[in-house]
Structure 1
Amino acid sequence: MALKEGKFRKAIVMVIVLIVLVPCAFLLYDSMVSSGEEKVEFYYMTSDGVMKPVEKDIRGENTEDILVTTLNTLKGGTTTEGMLPSIPAEVEFLSVGVINDNAVIDVSNGYHRMKNTEEVICRASIVWTLTSLDFIDGVVLTVEGQPLRNNNGVEFGPMDRNNVVIEPQISAETTEYAILTLYFANNEGTDLITEERVIEVNANQTREKTILEQLIAGPEELDAQRTVPLETKIRDVTTTNDGICYVNLSQDFVAKHVGNEMAEKLTIYSIVNSLCELDGIEKVQFLIEGKKVDQFKGNLEIKTPFAAISSLKGLEANQG
């Protein structure tokens, strides 16, 4: 009887030991894999308009500690020459967590006070920096506890390196970030307005072609309208040493256009102004299927190169 009681007591002790040690072992393992040093790529905008990474080592006791340290380091900027801070001072990080391998970051309402360009740079910088961590697949941003939404009111949801870029199919070895100033029509169709956009561009593709692609894709802002028919195809675009950019477009550029004098001017000058934002381009010459044509849709002559204008209203006044 005593022998059985002894065995029973030993069994009870073993169960207690397992209950105590197994959770400790998991905690120890989690601590080992979650703490230590992480190599992080911090993405900043450069003074020449491209986003590039600066690699640093970050230490932390656990995943959340590493995330907090990474975000604070990103906000603090870098001493690397030519690199600009990507997170404004008024944007504060209120809470940080990890859910299903997504970093969930709640920021202050200062996020909504950023200009469009600043917001895009800030968001891209956060997403690309945090997803350089091995344990983060995506990023969810909230503002004062509310989901971050785009200009159409749709929630962004989890963001990663595939859905914060325009051309995700291009390999990382041939891409870089760039800020483009694009011109679209205002909602009244009376003048041009600008939209600054941060995109990932192919380093092997000319910036002129990228601008044309973005114009064809149309505006992202609610107060703007597209100016170039969606069916338009880019046959070629070349800039010569004398500062003239030759834009060769498909016949759809003319055939699919709605016509009328104001619409034609909005289309032509949205392309001209957008391209003339680039250094080295002074004027734009249009070609249709490789040939110069006299008129666009019967209202505007396009046989000679166009220079950028400050506004269509000023152009109308000068012509008047």
Structure 2
Amino acid sequence: MSKSKYKKTLVSTVVVSALLLSGCGLFGVEEKEQIDPPKEVTYTNEKTEVTEKTNTTDKTTAADKEKDAAVEDTRKTELYLFDKNGYVVPQTLELPKTESVAKQALEYLVKNGPVTDMLPNGFQAVIPDETKISVNVKDKVATVDFSSEFKNYKAEDELKILQSITWTLTQFDSIEQVKLQMNGHPLEEMPVNGTPIGDELSRKIGINLDVSQAGDITNTKPLTVYYIGGEADSYYFVPVTKRVSNKVESNIDAAINELVKGPSVTSNLLNEFNSDVELLDEPKVEDGKVTLNFNESIFGSFDKKMISQNVLESLVLTLTEQKGIESVAITVNGKAELMSEDGKKLTKPVTRPENVNTGSF
């Protein structure tokens, strides 16, 4: 297959980059853990020194212990909420630890519920106010039963509510599919606008559907990519499901192509690539790692061999949505010479974070 087939032109939109990239994962998790390590304390018999340590170091230690205890009592959970532009967007929040994680996640999607004081700016809950929920998980299928309040939503929100519930529940390893009920009766369609549900729901239903360039939709398949949403100093990543031709054999190649095209000009979403970036070779997949070989334009506007955090995260989030892809390695002209924005060499493939949009960037 010729190299020219894989040359692609990328849409350029200037945005501010996020926090710096860890060598083996997104969002700088490992780097954060190394900041301000605990200091060794030496005690003496001198009263003045003991008093000083009690007034400073001991107070700091007590505060740190209290903070650590609070973290131990919570669990990071992705909630698929509505942003101000109407997109269904994952936001990772610290929820109290519980054995009923699936039920808890849905309860935190209820309007005027426990999530109210935790909502990020511009975001809102999804499920109608006062809806009661029960969840039963068996054989990786979550059966959700809603009270009658569930039907108190606007017709235009119906599909997005369906997507939010499905994607929130399928974040858990124990759940791959979802069934919906209301007052104990199975729902074959949504109660307000009649959106078909079928027997079981999965992530195959897509999210934030974009069919503007699909043409004949019957000859296409869904593919989810991640673009940038929000504003400066508060960017986040938005999953968008597009339709690509059934004739495309490689979902990886199709995903790169959709990132190349970028979001719709009317979408209020952003994409951070130089217009002359080229993918020089066919993506290579081995042992869960996909290797992408770009030209030097992937470095963006940096003077040195650095790659934008937003470019990396869009690529990694998009490609790890594909079955069997766990990490992404990027080379330039066949060489692994990239650096993160803090000047550190990216010597390892980049893996998907455990949680998306943690508010740490």
**TM-score normalized by structure 2?**
0.37
Task: Select the structure that is richer in strand.
Answer: 1
Select the structure of larger CA radius of gyration: 1
Which structure would you say has the larger RCO, counting Cα contacts within 8 Å and 6 or more residues apart? 2
Task: Select the structure that is richer in helix.
Answer: 1
